[in-house]
Amino acid sequence: MLAAQSGIAAPALAEPVVGVKGPAIAVPDYPETRREAIVEQKFGEAVADPYRWLESDVRSTPEVADWVERQNAVTQTYLGQIGMRDAFAARLGKLYGFARFGTPRPAGNRYFYTGNAGRLNQEQVFVQDRADAKRRLLLDPNNWSHDGASAVGDWEPSETGKYLAYSIQEGGSDWRVLRVVDVDSGAVLGEGVHWSKFSEIAWIGDEGFLYARFPEPEDGSDFHAPNFNHAIYFHRVGTDQSQDELVFATPKRPEANHYAKVTGDGRWLVIESRIGTDARNEVHLIDLARRNSRGWKARRLIKGFDHVWKIIDSADGRLFARTDDGAPNYRIMTINPNQLRGGWRELIGQNNHTISSASIVGSRLVLEYLKDAASHAILFDLDGELAGQISLGGSGAAGGFAGQAGDPETFYRFTSFNRPPSIFRLNIETGDTEVFAEPELPFDPEDYKVEQRFFTSRDGTRVPIFIVRHKALAETNIAAPTLLYGYGGFEASQTPSFVASRMAWMQAGGVFALANIRGGGEFGKAWHDAGRLANKQNTFDDFIAAGEFLKAEGYTTAKGLAIEGRSNGGLLVGAVVNQRPDLFDAAHAAVGVMDMLRFDRWTAGRYWVDDYGDPGSEQDFRNLLAYSPYHNINAQTLYPPVLVTTADTDDRVVPAHSFKYIAALQAAQTGAVAGRSGDEAAAHLIRIETRAGHGSGKPVDKEIAESADVLAFLSHAVGLDGSALERALELAE
């Protein structure tokens, strides 16, 4: 068990953080933000955009950089007056301070996995030469930069484990540099492969690997310009990138992105192509057994971007695929790669629960189902017969289960709101499991109760919500300030998982809730479709109904409901604050999509038309304008306290979204009193991180500092001071 190697003793059970509610804090004088007289006519509508100048790159535009500096200074001055900030920072330090490990990937006789002894800024990569051998450090990104903002992105061992290909992420950017390390010597080979983005790494034996990249952008446009002409290349170990071979491209469809995978038997190169954020894809095959005679000649297997076709692997001369073609909750098909559709058949049909992932390990198919947003793992043989169920030990989320035909074992992780991930080894034939790595925690998971309820949305739809709180609050039914989280987009399922900031909130006496609103993938394609495009308002209605439910059912206090969302969830927060400012008592919108009329103009924004619609289409434009956070701020409305967070190197959702939104909110609400904390006015602030991106690769010290600021802001706004938990603990004794 890896925890035994960590050298970290299990600390005594931690006491809850009890905050002290400080005095009222005056809303600061916001930095002056220049307005421009920009008004455009779109489909007969006059659309003002006075803060368009904030779209310029903060790294190269002095006026924007100065605005960012002044906004950050005001925000830090305000947050510095909140007494709980230091307490949250200390608690978060402890919650990051235990050893944790990733799910191993076997290659040859070796096992590769990530790990962090506790407070390292970035995860390291380790290798073990046998399951019972001592691990050794292979990659340590903590030595790559002065500020800890360089990270290992994706990584993949070669077939025998001789090499490991990995990507370097700088400052949170989506751009990657790919390198190869010799596992025996630890030497890094070659000069690296540049301009890779949205790429998987797929090895062909130990010879080399396939990756995806875009053309090198023009000077100064790499963090803003839309990306087109994604292509697959092959890089041989020890050669220069200039010698890489073009494998697959679609110049007649420059908007398509391509992802390469080599089947476990080494026979087929599978290329899945998508044109947006939807998983609808085409599939091409390249017969690697004939590569020497035919080169990279691809044959189209799946035509049209109409359905999901995820090739799982190959076994017994068949390809196995997970698809929603004819099955909104997904089914498993077998494909004869040498025949057209007549040679394909359904192996495992759909049922009432979504098949969220599938893999082949040994002689088994491992299917992960989502039942009411929690994981269930089922084993089938390769003829589709039920072979058993994996006991996961509670309501939570599982992941991993990687492998290929013939493997005797697989590894998976299991986590929940009150449990950081533990790693398990599964004997695929017997179904026996054993712990591979288990964290030693600074708290007792049994002190926190996880429950699932259902509420009714505006149109009568039944929506699940997870509610997590200290068991003393649950046993005594005492209301406490509550943090409600949501996402609701891109068929992304929100499942139980451990997040340090959520635990810190609960240790301070708060309640955490996660609503599985429409737009996600918790209930398959229909749930996604019900929360996107013309149906996007359903997402907002669901979240509003979740807030009403928490107040009506007595989970939260009358003025104690804070909300939070990231990325598409940031859009969610911005939209519902505009629509129901009376319901929500504080809000945190992180890296949100806030300008719904121009999102498609930058970097990855063009992909999002699948979920949001095309601003250039009149029907979509009118729908987008109706809920766009930036365009629906009303100076006559009193909004709750709002904290916006973003980062200067976010090239997924560019920071201009957050800049423009907070500028508009500050201008509308200058001097307004929201009346949520006595006579205290509602603060509307922005926190802009440097050398950070959309989220991945952020150093632990930056995560702790940002989370402490956010939790302090929200706790002050909703009166989280630990008193409810103190009262509950007294009653529970």
Q: How far, in Å, CA of 122 to CA of 116, rounded?
A: 7
Go through the chain and tell me how many residues it has. Answer: 733
Is residue 87 helix, strand or coil? Answer: helix
Q: How far, in Å, CA of 628 to CA of 597, rounded?
A: 8
Check if the beta carbon of residue 453 is closer than 8 Å to that of residue 464: yes
**What is the pLDDT averaged over residues 263-279?**
93
Q: How far, in Å, CA of 9 to CA of 441, rounded?
A: 9
**What is the pLDDT averaged over residues 137-163?**
94
Higher pLDDT, 294 or 410: 410
Check if the beta carbon of residue 428 is closer than 8 Å to that of residue 407: yes
Could you give the percent of the chain with pLDDT greater than 70? 95
Segment (H or E) for 4: none
3-state secondary structure 352-383: CCEEEEEEEECCEEEEEEEECCEEEEEEEECC
The least confident of 104-118, 179-193, 210-224, 341-355 is 210-224
> Which parts of 466-535 fold into alpha helices (H)?
471-476, 500-507, 525-529
Check if the beta carbon of residue 10 is closer than 8 Å to that of residue 440: yes
Is pLDDT at 687 greater than 80 in this prediction? yes
Q: How far, in Å, CA of 155 to CA of 276, rounded?
A: 24
Class of domain 67-94+444-732: alpha beta
Average pLDDT in the chain: 92
Indicate left, alpha or beta for 516 from its phi (over 0: left) and psi (-120 to 50: alpha): beta
pLDDT reported for residue 241 = 96
Check if the beta carbon of residue 114 is closer than 8 Å to that of residue 128: no
Check if the beta carbon of residue 170 is closer than 8 Å to that of residue 714: no
- Taking alpha carbons only, the member of 198, 6, 55 closest to residue 654 is 55
Cα separations in angstroms, 575 against 254, 382, 531, 618, 675? 32, 47, 14, 20, 21
Is pLDDT at 372 greater than 50 in this prediction? yes
pLDDT reported for residue 22 = 58
pLDDT reported for residue 342 = 61
**What is the pLDDT averaged over residues 281-287?**
96
How do residues 636-676 score in pLDDT, each as one tens digit?
899 999 999 999 988 889 999 999 999 999 999 864 444 44
Check if the beta carbon of residue 661 is closer than 8 Å to that of residue 629: yes
Q: How far, in Å, CA of 603 to CA of 600, rounded?
A: 8
Two tokens at 100? 């944790």
Indicate left, alpha or beta for 375 from its phi (over 0: left) and psi (-120 to 50: alpha): beta
Two tokens at 33? 């933000």
Is residue 707 helix, strand or coil? Answer: helix
User: Which residues, in sequence order, are bridge partners of residue 321?
Assistant: 311, 333
Place 472 in a pLDDT band, splitting at 50, 70 and 90. very high
User: Which residues, in sequence order, are bridge partners of residue 646?
Assistant: 688
- Taking alpha carbons only, the member of 570, 439, 441, 448 closest to residue 100 is 439
How do residues 591-610 score in pLDDT, each as one tens digit?
999 999 999 999 889 899 99
Helix, strand, coil in percent for the chain, rounding step 5: 25, 30, 45
**What is the pLDDT averaged over residues 675-689?**
75
Q: How far, in Å, CA of 581 to CA of 641, rounded?
A: 10
pLDDT reported for residue 17 = 45
pLDDT reported for residue 341 = 62
Enzyme catalytic residues:
567, 694
Beta-strand relationship, 642-647 and 684-689: parallel
pLDDT reported for residue 562 = 98
pLDDT reported for residue 305 = 92
**What is the pLDDT averaged over residues 331-345?**
84
Is pLDDT at 225 greater than 60 in this prediction? yes
How do residues 41-54 score in pLDDT, each as one tens digit?
999 999 999 999 99
Its sign, for the CA torsion 602, 605, 607, 610, is: negative
Q: How far, in Å, CA of 641 to CA of 115, rounded?
A: 38
Check if the beta carbon of residue 617 is closer than 8 Å to that of residue 624: no
**What is the pLDDT averaged over residues 155-179?**
94
CATH of region 98-251: 2.130.10.120
pLDDT reported for residue 277 = 86
